[in-house]
Amino acid sequence: MSYERKISAEEAKGKFIFILKSALKKFPQTNKLFTVQVGNKKYSTRIKSVHCTCIGTSHEHYHMLVANIPELDNLKKGDVVTVKKLSEDIYLVSVKGKN
């Protein structure tokens, strides 16, 4: 399993990676802690459900929180993040800066 996302300005500022509802099944349940590996370092994070009415109707957005991960703390608009499942609760995260 892998998930790729081009980071928006909102994600960079809010220190999260937006997880599309259609990709949610690739990740642990919302609010369940799991491990992300960046390089050879491992960190704990979770996917948070955020209530929203941006399209006029009440719905949820899903954010993978990255503020506590130094290597992901400075994501910029246009960066491409890839999240690859290594095992049940460990996900490898890599970032390519925009060209």
Confidence (pTM): 0.91
pLDDT in the model for residue 33: 96
Rounded to whole angstroms, the maximal C-alpha distance in the chain is 43
What digits encode the pLDDT tens for the residues 54-92? 888 899 999 999 999 999 989 999 999 999 999 988 999
CB 35 within 8 A of CB 44: yes
Where does 1-99 show beta strands of DSSP type E? 2-6, 16-18, 34-38, 41-45, 47-52, 59-65, 80-87, 90-96
Give the model's confidence band at 98: pLDDT under 50 very low, under 70 low, under 90 confident, else very high: low
Domains, the chain, ranges and CATH? 2-96 (2.40.330.10)
